[in-house]
Amino acid sequence: MGRMVVVGGEVQSRGLFGGNRTAPEWIGLSVAIGTALLIVLAGGSSVVALILAAVLVLAGVILTTPNKLSGHRSLGALFVEVRHKKVRAKNKSLVYVPVKDRPQTRMVKAGKKDRERADENGLIEVPVRHKDNAPLMVGTVRHFAIDTPEGQLVIFRHQGKVKKSYYTATVEVMGSSSGIREEYRKESGHVARGQYLARLARRQSLVTHIQTLARAVPMDSADHLLWVKRRVAQNVPRILLESYGELCETTRSRSEQHRTYETFRIPGSAALYRRAEAYGSGDEGIGQAIYQEIRSAMAQASMMGSITNSRPLGPEAMAALLRHLQDPDFDIDDYDGANLMDCWQHLDGAASPISLVVNDHWHIRTGYVPASAFSPAPIPVEALEAIISGIQPAVVHSVSMVMELEDARSARSKARSDAAMDRATSNKVSKSGVVTDGTEEVLMGASHQRLLDLKPGSGHHGAAYGLYISFAVEDANEILSTTDIVEAAASDAGIEFIDWLDHRNDLALITTMPFTRGIR
Measure the CA–CA gap between 279 and 198, rounded to whole angstroms.
27
Pair (392, 501) in one structural domain: yes
Pair (480, 507) in one structural domain: yes
Q: Is the pLDDT of residue 101 over 60?
A: yes
Using DSSP bridges, classify how beta strands 4-5 and 140-148 pair: parallel, antiparallel or unpaired. unpaired
Q: Where are the alpha helices (DSSP H) in 401-503?
A: 408-432, 439-453, 479-492
Classify residue 517: in a domain, yes or no: no
Measure the CA–CA gap between 451 and 449, rounded to whole angstroms.
5
Determine the average pLDDT of the residues in 330-348. Answer: 90
Q: Give the pLDDT of residue 1.
A: 45
Q: Give the pLDDT of residue 3.
A: 64
Q: Give the pLDDT of residue 210.
A: 95
Pair (164, 209) in one structural domain: yes
Q: What is the 3-state secondary structure (H, E, C) of 280-333?
A: CCHHHHHHHHHHHHHHHHHHHHHHHCCCCEEEECCHHHHHHHHHHHHCCCCCCC
- Number of other CB atoms surrounding residue 16 within 10 Å: 6
Pair (294, 352) in one structural domain: yes
Pair (294, 250) in one structural domain: no
Classify residue 3: in a domain, yes or no: yes
Pair (214, 349) in one structural domain: yes
Specify the amino acid at residue 34: G
Pair (182, 294) in one structural domain: yes
Q: Give the pLDDT of residue 330.
A: 92
Q: Give the pLDDT of residue 508.
A: 93
Classify residue 520: in a domain, yes or no: no
Total-model pTM: 0.84
Choose one of 66, 91, 116: the last residue of a domain.
91
Of 212 and 24, the structure prediction assigns the larger pLDDT to 212
Measure the CA–CA gap between 316 and 341, rounded to whole angstroms.
10
Peptide bond into 393 cis (omega under 30): yes
Q: Hey, which bits of 67-122 come out as E strands? A: 95-96, 105-109
Pair (303, 414) in one structural domain: no
Pair (36, 58) in one structural domain: yes
Q: Note the pLDDT tens digit of each residue in 38-59.
A: 988 888 778 888 889 889 989 8
Of 379 and 11, the structure prediction assigns the larger pLDDT to 379
Pair (368, 328) in one structural domain: yes
Q: Give the pLDDT of residue 473.
A: 95
Q: Give the pLDDT of residue 209.
A: 94
Classify residue 132: in a domain, yes or no: no
Q: What is the CATH number of the domain that holds 198?
A: 3.40.462
Classify residue 115: in a domain, yes or no: yes
* Residue 317 binned pLDDT confidence (cut-offs 50, 70, 90): very high
Pair (185, 281) in one structural domain: yes
Q: Give the pLDDT of residue 243.
A: 83
Least Cα distance to 325 among 201, 192, 453, 471 occurs for 471
Q: Give the pLDDT of residue 186.
A: 60
**Which of the listed ranges 23-27, 97-101, 323-327 does the model predict with the highest average pLDDT?**
323-327
440 φψ region: left (φ > 0), alpha (ψ -120 to 50), beta (else): alpha
The overall average pLDDT reported for the chain is 84
Q: Is the pLDDT of residue 401 over 90?
A: yes
Q: Note the pLDDT tens digit of each residue in 212-242.
A: 999 998 776 666 666 777 777 777 788 877 7
Classify residue 133: in a domain, yes or no: no
DSSP 256: E
Q: Total structural domains in the chain?
A: 5
Choose one of 233, 254, 275: the last residue of a domain.
254
Q: Give the pLDDT of residue 180.
A: 45
* Backbone phi, psi, residue 365, to 5°: -120, 135
Cα torsion through 431, 435, 439, 444, rounded to 10:
30
Pair (385, 468) in one structural domain: yes
Classify residue 173: in a domain, yes or no: yes
Give residue 58's domain range: 1-91
Determine the average pLDDT of the residues in 422-431. Answer: 80
Q: Is the pLDDT of residue 444 over 80?
A: no
Q: Note the pLDDT tens digit of each residue in 465-517.
A: 889 999 999 999 999 999 999 999 999 888 988 989 988 899 999 999 999 99
Classify residue 80: in a domain, yes or no: yes
Q: Note the pLDDT tens digit of each residue in 177-217.
A: 555 455 555 667 777 888 888 888 888 899 999 999 999 98
